Amino acid sequence: MKPPKKPLRYSDTASVKASKGSILREALPRSGDTAVVNVRAAKDRLSSLLEQASRGGEVIITSDGQPKARLVPVRVQRKPYSVDWGWLESQPRVSGPSAEALVAADRAERSHGTGLHNGD
């Protein structure tokens, strides 16, 4: 089990710099990492934060230093596969040669050069 990673914190001045036109040079953490951002920075960077979450990362949004929300990837739950045994048993049973017999016959045809398997 991996030890928990230290959360990456964005500075509170990030959104102030962005609003003043400064170039924001903060890199988003790699997928699987946790980023902690304040509400203002989250508003400014929502698209990139959503992209990070979709890649498997987690983003915690804070307000006044307190965690308020968490962005995580959506996990689509698949419906478990179930067999309708009643329907399956009601189907007609087809009998014929076994798969092993069919494979053996096919190999025999190929080795003797008969049939369509020899390039005809």
- When comparing pLDDT for 115 and 73, which is higher? 73
Residue 96 domain-assigned? Answer: no
Residue 119 domain-assigned? Answer: no
pTM over 0.85: no
pLDDT of 43 > 90? The answer is yes
Tokens of 59: 């983003």
Residue 117 domain-assigned? Answer: no
Residue 25 domain-assigned? Answer: yes
- When comparing pLDDT for 41 and 15, which is higher? 41
Start-to-end Cα distance in the chain: 59
Going by C-alpha positions, the residue among 20, 27, 11 that lies closest to residue 62 is 11
Residue 86 domain-assigned? Answer: no
Question: What does the alpha-carbon distance between residue 97 and residue 71 come to, in Å, rounded to a whole number?
Answer: 57
Residue 39 domain-assigned? Answer: yes
Residue 110 domain-assigned? Answer: no
Look up the domain containing 29 and give its range: 8-71
Residue 87 domain-assigned? Answer: no
**Residue 74's pLDDT band (boundaries 50, 70, 90)?**
confident
Going by C-alpha positions, the residue among 63, 33, 65, 66 that lies closest to residue 49 is 33
* Count of domains for the chain: 1
